Structure 1
Amino acid sequence: QEEYARAAENVASGMHAVADAHPDEKTRRKWHQNADNFMNASPEERDNALKDIGKGLLMIIATPFVLAGLGLYAAGTIVGGVASVLKGIGK
């Protein structure tokens, strides 16, 4: 429970940092409001938000591996097709 509270504080402080760094005043206010809403949310709502953040990070981390796997699969399919053509020519 304490870890979630610390994680929520870190997320909110990160949101405040994003707000402070943004040049547009309207966007800055929106991010500060989002951070305040996040900190004032119920533990269940915060937990759901943190889970969504975790899912997003997982997608960011997994994407290069998926693309590399697709590339290897495509290369293997091409090599298999070339082998079939050469096998057919050799008959």
Structure 2
Amino acid sequence: MSWDLSVAIGYTVCDPTEGCEGSAQVLYNGPFTPTVHTPPGPGGISAYQNFTFASPFTAPGPAQLTIVHFYDVGVSNIPLLQTVNVNFNVV
């Protein structure tokens, strides 16, 4: 069993030749309270929370979202971090 605690979502503009480096602009930092959805969402995931953002930058080109998920697992509440990077192109 796990308990979702919080999530942070950051946005980074990437250099087309150097890649994505540096600090992200924080778009959201707060509670993560996923709900169960039927039918499951993309990838068969049934519990999720939607977040919608407008791009803070208007320049086209490569960008990256970084999502950090903090949660507790098991009877002893072991704290864990899950980090996911999503690369995309702003058009």
TM-score range, shorter chain: under 0.3
Larger radius of gyration: 1
Which has the bigger relative contact order, CA under 8 A and spacing at least 6?
2
Name the TM-score, length of structure 1 as normaliser.
Answer: 0.20
Higher strand proportion? 2
Tell me which protein shows more helix as a share of its residues.
1
